[in-house]
Chains A and B, each alone.
Chain A
Amino acid sequence: MSKKMGLLRIGSKKRQGDIKRSKPRCRNSKKMATLVEPPNRIKPKGKHYYTIWQTLFEIDTKYVPIKPIGRGAYGVVCSSINRETNEKVAIKKIGNIFENSIDALRTLRELKLLRHIRHENVIALKDVMMPIHKTSFKDVYLVYELMDTDLHQIIKSSQPLSNDHCKYFLFQLLRGLKYLHSANILHRDLKPGNLLVNANCDLKICDFGLARTNGVDGQFMTEYVVTRWYRAPELLLCCDNYGTSIDVWSVGCIFAEILGRKPIFPGTECLNQLKLIISVLGSQHESHLEFIDNAKARRFIKSLPYTRGRHFSQLYPQADPLAIDLLQKMLVFDPTKRITVLEALQHPYMASLYDPRCDPPAQVPISLDIDEHWGEPMIREMFWNEMLHYHPEAASANA
């Protein structure tokens, strides 16, 4: 039996109409999760309630929150203990999920993908809590394995990173990506904040809200999806068809950021982003612009002032020459000439780490049946079906 957490318990809710201001809470309540009464005083079986950063969490009783660890783009995240297994997890609450159908579909996409993905370098989704009522739930609670921090925090910190650190991070990112690409999945939003790491340097890819299968259904993929600083030229230039190479570009930007401890292309706007890229890679020869199918976009690139660019060894003078060579092959403007993930793993820089026998491909290509025009009832049904995969016992109890 594990030691019980010393959690604070707040008294009962104030009476209706009581206008007296509540007394300021003690300092601890700002940092720890606080056990509270259910909102309407009716406690459903199997759930308990905590306030975390003024956000109410309605969670399964086997989880005991510890403290808030982040405020993601779409919700609050707190660390917790699973009392049944004694393992630490991260619970993400996404509130009012149906308020914005684009965000809802993004979350649904992540649920569907992560259910199929099994890889050491991809974050595991351990549970999706079953809400009390199928017809009226508004919030979704996702349970992930808990990691210590993310690569963004590491890069920003002052601690030195050796060549072995840089190499090991890149290696894990590439093999996680190799698995995804073998399953026909593009991540499409790789950036340091989406790469979780532990103190022992394990690295896992997370945040699959923008991930999508690679055009197997022949559908043109929407543009403008990747966080700008890590966005590949073919996305910035409105190319209608793109592939796994957009993730490789993002990896190149991340690798450069690990080496240089700051973003390599911190564009303020889309046009500025392109200018920064050209200022480093240099003006492109005509033959390297043939992939741009929009005539006006191609003309725009040609209209930029001529520049010879800067060699990566000038930007990162301390880096291993093999790292520079690999970086150079990743950050190639023309996606058809950019190195692939597999080729990157086979690069001499990765020779001491990569063993192809240890990296089997995904079992089967994963397909998503998500229609961007679904309304709330259908989205709600799909969420419920995903939850049933983690709670098969609830299927019979569905009334």
Chain B
Amino acid sequence: MKMKTKTPLKQLKLAVPAQETPITSFLTASGTFHDGDLLLNQKGLRLISEEKESRPSDGKELEFDFLLDDLETIKVIGKGSGGVVQLVRHKWVGRLFALKVIQMNIQEDIRKQIVQELKINQASQCPHVVVCYHSFYHNGVISLVLEYMDRGSLADVIKQVKTILEPYLAVVCKQVLQGLVYLHNERHVIHRDIKPSNLLVNHKGEVKITDFGVSAMLASSMGQRDTFVGTYNYMSPERISGSTYDYSSDIWSLGMVVLECAIGRFPYIQSEDQQSWPSFYELLAAIVESPPPSAPPDQFSPEFCTFVSSCIQKDPRDRLTSLELLDHPFIKKFEDKDLDLGILVGGLEPPVNFPR
């Protein structure tokens, strides 16, 4: 029954747009996603310029062929920013991977960011950045086959141990800094989302950076949904106040992470008695208006205190760079002591349990 209105409407009509029109402009006849020099389909990713040069394969190539159908899902291990992450196993080889599934978005700025991340992953050759072995596109969905870090993230670690001692922190910092040197100096990329849950650990004690800046953009776009909790905790003051920012904003975030791991709580929570997090705007005001937090000198070494303060300077020009920080006395102090982070994380509960 037609709904009643005061006066009859003239016949209004709509042309119903085809469901796939927007993305089909980026698809070839066989269903390959094509943007600029990037080609992506069920078989994997190809860069046209790379193809012409017929470059020999690099060291991270797996020794066997790879198809998306060969992966079986074991468990969802995260609904992080940017998409769902699943623990998967290669059916024939038995090897574990993390599969990150992203809905393709053809909004121009989002699409460009996705393509950029795919290219970065394709070229990534740093032992302290999570390896992306393959990318696929199928039916509107991008799948990234990532290195599986079996001890989860730094967030999982500090949930159990609460604080990390300085020697182990130095080992963590050195590896993260090496990853940042690669991102900043070789790839010319700002990560934008350095936080404990994006610093992954494996049983060998290796620490690797994951989730490049595009993921934050993706989270913004997919459903355009976010929560205040956690969004701004590690964001540098200049980003929060809307100023321009550069690589040094990642350094601020790293400093916050390191301080949190050392004192066992998020630095802007005033004391261990305070149960709840500061409200959103209290946090913003604290970050932008108050002096930066610092490590208590009666509990930590002078080297650690100056390392933290070298990262957490309100004025980005006063922060050290990732390369400079690698030479900091705090890092140098423990370099020859042969510390094994694997011993620390090996004693903890693994974040994902599944039948083998």
Which A residues have a C-beta under 8 Å from some C-beta of B?
19, 21-22, 30, 53-54, 69-71, 73, 96, 99-100, 120, 148-149, 153-154, 156-157, 159, 162, 164-165, 168, 171, 191, 197-201, 223-224, 227-229, 237-238, 268-272, 275, 294, 296-297, 299-300, 351-355, 358
Contacts and interface: CB of A to CB of B under 8 A. Distances in A.
Given A71-B140, A199-B13, A296 B220 contact: no
B66 interface: no
Nearest to A298: B281
A229 to B, nearest CB: 5
Given A149-B17, A270-B228, A351-B6, 15 more contacts: A54-B139, A71-B103, A73-B223, A100-B79, A191-B224, A199-B13, A200-B13, A201-B13, A227-B223, A229-B224, A269-B231, A271-B240, A272-B242, A300-B281, A354-B6
B238 to A, nearest CB: 12
B280 interface: yes
B66 to A, nearest CB: 12
Nearest to B19: A69
Interface of B: 3-7, 9-10, 12-17, 19, 21-22, 31, 67, 69, 76, 79, 92, 103, 139-141, 217, 220, 223-229, 231-232, 240, 242, 279-282, 284-285
Contacts, number: 121
Nearest to A299: B285
Contact of A352 (B7, B13, B139, B226): B7
A159 B224 CA distance: 25
B280 A238 contact: yes
Contacts of A54: 139
Contacts of A154: 14, 17
18 contacts: A54-B139, A71-B141, A96-B76, A99-B76, A148-B16, A157-B21, A159-B14, A159-B15, A168-B12, A201-B13, A228-B220, A228-B224, A229-B224, A238-B279, A294-B279, A296-B285, A354-B6, A358-B4
A149 B16 contact: yes
A271 B225 contact: no
A358 B31 CA distance: 49
B231 A270 contact: yes
A63 B143 CA distance: 31
B139 A53 contact: yes
Contacts of A120: 3
B284 A300 contact: yes
Contacts of B3: 120, 358
Contacts of A99: 76
Given A197-B14, A227-B225, A296 B279 contact: yes
Nearest to B217: A268
> What 9 A-B pairs are tightest by C-beta distance, nearest first?
A296-B281, A297-B281, A157-B17, A201-B12, A358-B4, A355-B6, A148-B16, A224-B227, A227-B224
